[in-house]
Amino acid sequence: MESNSNLLPRLLRGIIPPLVTPLQDRDTLDAAGLERLIEHVLAGGVHGLFILGTTGEAPSLSYRLRYEVIERVCEQVKERVPVLVGITDTSFVESLNISRKARDAGAQAVVLAPPYYFPAGQSELLEYLKHLTPELPLPVFLYNMPSYTKLVFEPETIRAAADFPGISGIKDSSGNMIYFRRLQRLLKDHPDFSLLMGREELLAETILFGGHGSVCGGANLLPQLYVELYNAACAKDLPKMEALHQEVMQLSDAIYNVGRYESSFLKGIKCALSCMGICSDFMAEPFHRFRQVEHKVIQEYIKELGITQNR
């Protein structure tokens, strides 16, 4: 199964930014922006890239564009770090199609949330994973994101799925730390099963208490900050960890809470990247880039926090 995965460690650890997808318009990639973004985050020392996730606006993109993103990213990364590709889809066949494209392009793994239209039960979800994973050509990371998919992967479902060949870990974006702790306990006999935190505000405590890494949206902006925080937590250097954690919280407060609606974090990141000169802030429907007034607020923050492309 694992044609491209000698690059993927047996246990994935560290900071894996969920890359935004720079766009010129709803169906045209901002290719130069994508290039700059990739180099920016790799320069920060991240341990992998996750493309076509929620932060990557994957569900809003055409398949054609998603395929283009996969090819360009893999081509440019050139195996410097593992590339994980989101394949979540309401259609099993389309998930397979994307996963094959990912394998062909040289990606290392795929990431899969529950199919998010029909409200399936846990036994249906487990059966779904049982059917799907043997057909997938790359290792799979599960993705728990109940506020967007409506469906939760219950801890017992994850525990059962962890025995399927090819399932390598989970990214939990529920924000529910008790859920995450429960996963840790249920999976303590699976030392190769990677437990990744999807909310950067919880990165420090995740690592300190035995989690393996984090998928941090803010690492699009300040990759080095998250890598340093990860390292401080691994080293159990509490004073340094606390100081960096406060920087993460400050960025979260500043960038993710401008404007209304739950999509603020996404608009904030794209807007900040545009202020930093890295890529366009165009967003695919149903969203739109921030208007002048919110843009200004973000720009102020960027200056205030001293965020630059080269930091």
Element (H, E) at 214: strand 213-214
The residues that bridge with 195 in the sheet, in sequence order, are: 170
In the structure encoding, which two tokens stand for residue 134, read together?
A: 């043997």
Task: Give the residue among 244, 237, 267 at the shortest CA–CA distance from 255.
Answer: 267
293 three-class SS: helix
Instruction: Find the helix or strand (DSSP H, E) in which 23 lies.
Output: strand 23-25
Distance in angstroms (rounded) separating the CA atoms of residues 114 and 176: 18
- Taking CA atoms, 87 is separated from 67, 153, 268, in Å, by 11, 16, 24
For the question of residue 116 being annotated catalytic, the response is no
261/292 with CB nearer a copy of itself = 261
Least CB distance to a copy of itself at residue 60 (A): 6
What is the closest distance, in whole angstroms, from the C-beta atom of residue 157 to a copy of itself in the complex? 13
- Judged by beta carbon, residue 5 or residue 55, the one nearer a copy of itself is 55
- In DSSP terms, 111 is beta-bridged to 86, 141
Query: Shortest Cβ distance from residue 6 to a copy of itself (Å)?
Result: 30
Q: Which is nearer to a copy of itself, 65 or 111 (CB)?
A: 65
Question: Of 101, 117, 130, 171, which one is the catalytic site residue?
Answer: 171
Between 176 and 231, whose beta carbon lies closer to a copy of itself?
Answer: 176
Nearest to 147 by CA among 288, 290, 57, 263: 263
Catalytic residue (choose from 67, 101, 143, 267): 143
CB of 80 to a copy of itself, least distance (A): 30
Q: At which residue do the structure tokens 């401008």 appear? A: 258
171 is catalytic: yes
Residues near a copy of itself (CB under 8 A): 26-27, 54, 59-65, 90-94, 97, 114-121, 124-125, 127-128, 131-132, 147-150, 175-178, 181-182, 185, 199, 201-202, 204-205, 208-209, 236, 238, 242, 245, 249, 253, 260-263, 284-288
> To the nearest whole angstrom, how small is the minimum distance from the Cβ of residue 244 to a copy of itself?
12
> Residue 156: what are its φ and ψ, rounded to 5°?
-70, -30
79 vs 237 by CB, closer to a copy of itself: 237
Q: Would you please indicate which residues are annotated as catalytic (active-site) residues?
A: 143, 171
